Amino acid sequence: MEAALVFASAISFLIFLIVPERFRKYPAITGWIFIIASVVADIPHYINAENNFLYPVIGILGIPFAVITAGELLKGNKYVHYLSRGAAIAFLIYVPFAYIQPVGDALISIVTSQCVFILNAIGFDVTQLAWNLVSHDGFRVEIILACTGLQAIAIMLGLAFCVPSTAREKVLSFLVVAPVIYILNLFRNVFVIMAYTGQWLQVLPEIASNGEYGYESFFWAHNVIAELGALVFLIVLALLLFRINRNLGEFSEEIVSLYCGKIKEFTGGFGRGK
């Protein structure tokens, strides 16, 4: 279900890029609905199988976001149009790797080999069992597309390119986003592999365990430390992009003001109704 909804969202946003501007609000609305629905549909998996609560929170918050976004697109709000353009650009980058298997597998293979090289170079001996599989001390880690940094690169480039900018601003934004995220993601993978296969974080099993032996270290390294670290880094990176392109700063202020205002309007009205 989740994969089908993501695919439907991707198609909707790609249509957004090619139809005349006056019609773009319709594929944008369907694209946002499908992508939020994909996260909501997968909430049981995130909670029960992965002990991951970040994505369920995103999915729940995404419901009012989708309602507000649809309404503003129908009104012709240019900032929400820019936001939708950013999502469309992100999908344009993501789709070839996600849906053309040899392309995605090639990226995964490269990332796996580079992680193995770094690990062995720093004295943490691992074995590459397959093109996407790393082993140490009896524990295995599979590198998947989500481990390549592709999603973060696509999202941040979508943000960087969603508003009007000069050629210089585009080039600088690309250089700040793509190589930096790619390299830092390699070290993120290295940390997770070391922490899990080395069993560094076997604590609080009542929170972290899913019944699989040794999973607690993976939970704390991947679902907590790496996720929070990535979130902080992306916020810092966004602030740097705002300095490169002043239009992004204005865009972010307008978007935050719009959504916060709409939520306050809704919650205030709900309180008065009670």
pLDDT in tens, 178-223: 999 999 999 999 999 999 999 998 888 877 777 788 889 999 999 8
The strand order across the sheet containing 127-130 reads 127-130, 133-136, 139-142
Catalytic residue list contains 188: yes
Residue 147 has pLDDT above 80, yes or no: yes
The per-residue pLDDT for 105 is 97
- For residue 179, CA distances in Å to 15, 28, 174, 265 come to 28, 29, 8, 41
Among positive and negative, which fits the CA dihedral 122, 124, 125, 128? negative
Q: pLDDT tens digits for 150-188? A: 999 999 999 999 999 899 999 999 999 999 999 999 999
DSSP 8-state secondary structure symbol assigned to residue 162: S
Residue that wins the pLDDT comparison between 205 and 235? 235
Q: Confidence class of residue 135 from pLDDT cuts 50, 70 and 90?
A: very high
Q: Compute the mean pLDDT over every residue in the chain, rounded to the nearest whole number.
A: 90
Residue 274 has pLDDT above 50, yes or no: no
Give start and end residues of each alpha helix (H) in the chain. 2-18, 25-41, 43-48, 54-75, 78-99, 101-121, 150-161, 167-197, 205-208, 215-218, 227-244, 246-273
The per-residue pLDDT for 196 is 94
Residue 54 has pLDDT above 90, yes or no: no
Residue that wins the pLDDT comparison between 77 and 272? 77
The per-residue pLDDT for 265 is 83
Burial of 233 (0-12, 13-18, 19+ CB in 10 A): middle
Average pLDDT over residues 60-89: 93
Average pLDDT over residues 33-41: 90
Average pLDDT over residues 133-140: 94
The per-residue pLDDT for 100 is 92
Query: Do residues 186 and 118 lie in contact, with contact meaning Cβ atoms separated by under 8 Å?
Result: yes
List 188, 243, 260, 272, catalytic entry? 188
Average pLDDT over residues 9-38: 93
Percent of the chain with pLDDT over 70: 96
Residue 37 has pLDDT above 70, yes or no: yes
Q: Confidence class of residue 94 from pLDDT cuts 50, 70 and 90?
A: very high
Q: How far is CA 10 from the centre of its chain?
A: 14
Catalytic residue list contains 162: no
List 147, 162, 168, 260, catalytic entry? 147
